[in-house]
Chains A and B, each alone.
Chain A
Amino acid sequence: MSAPSIKVSQPIDWTGIAFAVILTLVIVFPLLVVGTWAFTNVWRFPSVIPQEFGLKFWYQTLARADVWSSITMSLTLATTVTVLSAIICLPAAYAFARLDFPGRDILFFSFLAGHAFPKFGLLVAIAGIFLQLNLIGTFWGVVLIQLVGTLLFMIWIPVAAFQAVDRRMEEAARDVGASPLRVFWSITLPQAGPTIAAALLLSFVGTFYETEGAWLIGAPQVRTLPVLMISFINNQPVIQYGAVLSVLLWVPSFIALLFARRVVNSGSFAKGFGA
């Protein structure tokens, strides 16, 4: 994996630099615009920079009851989904990693299936079922639909993490007198810990940002922050409300990215996908 770094003086790669600059512009520029809008009080055409900067719309946005209730909703929802997902998926991941049972491989790859179809079609079908079960517009309905979305991350990444744990370590723990359950708790889980933490974070963030399912199943009673943001952007003539919410929504993803780097760097993520 890690090739020794060889220092060779190379000619300046102008094409590469050009690509980097263009990519940066394409990615960063919209972010910059949204960021600027969030801190703008007045910005009228044709001025290139806003006439007046300020936190006016932060006060206004944060003064709204629906914003706070949706933040609470999003956090509660993401936490509930992540905890439930961990309870369901971690033992399953351990089974996939360590046990051999009939249909193991097919079952393992079936978690990809949910991601292999246009998601919206699947959601509509599920919404039909939920309607009959009276789950539409309920908190638990949204929890259920988002659980499905976390399965892939929460199975595949922990499977790689468990597989990476040295079996001799587990055997050594059995040897000194630990029961299989104790071995899992004291040895396997801490060893796989950092990678599993990253999976938990990814699932938390993924749930936090998920809009389609939350909107289709939850609306109008259950409103998460991203769903609220979309309705702001669609229905409000004032751009700043949407911009402020967007900036608010960056915070968790930024934290998640810092942690996710760890998984990607360690290669466990890639291993989870069979690399």
Chain B
Amino acid sequence: MSVLTIKDVTKLFPGGTKAVDSFSLEVADGELVCLLGPSGSGKSTLLRMVGGFEQPTSGLITIDGQDITHMPPEKRPTGMVFQSHALWTHMDVFKNLAFGLKLRRLPADEIKRRVEAVLELVGLGGYGSRRVTQLSGGQQQRVALARSLVLEPKILLLDEPFASLDQHLRERLREEVRDIQQRVGITTLFVTHGQDEALSMADRIVVMRDGRTEQIDRPDVVYRDPQTPFVAGFIGTMNLIEGTVSNGTFTRASFSHPLAVADGPATLAIRPEALDLVAAEPGAAKVHRVTDYGTHGLLDLNLPDGTRVKAMVDHPGQFKNGQGVNLAPRAVAAYRDNKQIFRSEA
């Protein structure tokens, strides 16, 4: 049973910039929470504060109720996997994994047993005598994960662990890591700027921006019901159309859509897959480009004032460049003053 609690944590960098701004989060036992945000959103700083490599300016971090806010990293029950794997290249795989156990003065046969067990767990049984530099990028990252897991930390911290790997390997490894995390049942905090990673691995996603939380929710909720235009634009592809509402109708150039909110400016959010197109001349928009992906097609549309809109269609062959279409969204959300003011489901 390990619960991580972060309460009102603020980190000021020299010069006064707020890397993290009164951030709070509770990670439940066995849960995998993803910190997702663009670079500079403070997610890595937050993770490093949990690991003990940065000191919060104010706030409280506890694990199972124990205050660890100002504990040095070597005393904390946390295990961190670094983006650059940070394996010790002057040691072989076994020694990398055994180092922490030796510091705990475990007997040699116990160390051997645990190292071999964890190597099996990450699918690298028998690799103990390999030099770190002889391993592929994916294997190195697995050893780095094993190095943390072998010490059975209460909280596992992952700092963009797949960022240096190629796309194919990244997808395979994130499934593996998710499997291992669930098998071990370890409470995990995961930092990434890749939404695919967050959506496919996390129990909950924390979308961060400028050191603050934009939204904390399950991945499907974050995708379907983004609470701010930033989240809407950051997760998946989203058409964000700025316009005005008057008398229950949203208007941008030649495009209009009924929207039951008070008059004023608004940002309309429509997923490309929730936007139906009806051929019409002259139509509200013109087809700018048709891209056929085989399974589906993606259309780039232009409103008369130049606003770009993307739409996903099943049969891209029906459309051609320059053709006029009318837009018929099946589901929309609307934002004003950085807050959601309307949402309809398909």
Contacts and interface: CB of A to CB of B under 8 A. Distances in A.
A and B together in one complex: yes
Interface of A: 166, 168-169, 171-179, 182, 186-187, 190-191, 193
Contacts of A187: 88
B84 A176 contact: no
Contacts of B88: 169, 172-173, 187, 190-191
Contacts of B104: 177
22 contacts: A168-B86, A169-B89, A171-B80, A171-B86, A172-B87, A173-B99, A174-B52, A175-B52, A175-B74, A175-B78, A176-B99, A176-B103, A176-B151, A177-B74, A177-B100, A177-B104, A177-B151, A179-B74, A190-B88, A191-B88, A191-B89, A191-B90
A178 B148 contact: no
B82 interface: yes
Contact of A177 (B80, B83, B103): B103
**3 shortest A-B CB distances, which residue pairs?**
A176-B100, A168-B86, A172-B86
Contact of B73 (A174, A182, A191, A193): A174
A174 B72 contact: yes
A177 B75 CA distance: 6
A129 to B, nearest CB: 43
Nearest to B150: A176
A175 B103 contact: no
B103 A178 contact: yes
Given A168-B82, A168-B84, A182-B103, A175 B89 contact: no
A172 B91 CA distance: 14
B86 to A, nearest CB: 4
Contacts of B87: 169, 172
B204 interface: no
A172 B53 CA distance: 10
Contact of A176 (B53, B83, B89, B147): B147
B42 interface: no
A173 to B, nearest CB: 7
A72 B242 CA distance: 86
Interface in B122-144: 144
A187 B82 CA distance: 16
A176 B103 CA distance: 8
B74 A178 contact: yes
Given A166-B84, A168-B82, A182-B103, A175 B90 contact: no
Contacts of B52: 174-175
Contacts of B72: 174
Given A168-B86, A190-B90, A191-B89, A175 B99 contact: no
B51 interface: yes
B148 to A, nearest CB: 7
A169 B147 CA distance: 12
A44 to B, nearest CB: 59
A187 B88 CA distance: 7
Contacts of B73: 171, 174-175
A186 B99 contact: yes
Interface in B80-132: 80, 82-84, 86-90, 99-100, 103-104
A191 B87 CA distance: 11
B219 interface: no
B84 A175 contact: no
A176 B88 CA distance: 12
Nearest to B100: A176
Given A177-B100, A178-B74, A172 B147 contact: yes
Given A172-B144, A175-B73, 8 more contacts: A168-B84, A172-B147, A174-B72, A175-B52, A175-B74, A177-B75, A186-B99, A190-B88
Interface string B52-92: 11000000000000000000111100111011101111100
A225 B261 CA distance: 95
Contacts of B83: 168
A172 B226 CA distance: 36
Contacts of B74: 174-179
A168 B141 CA distance: 14
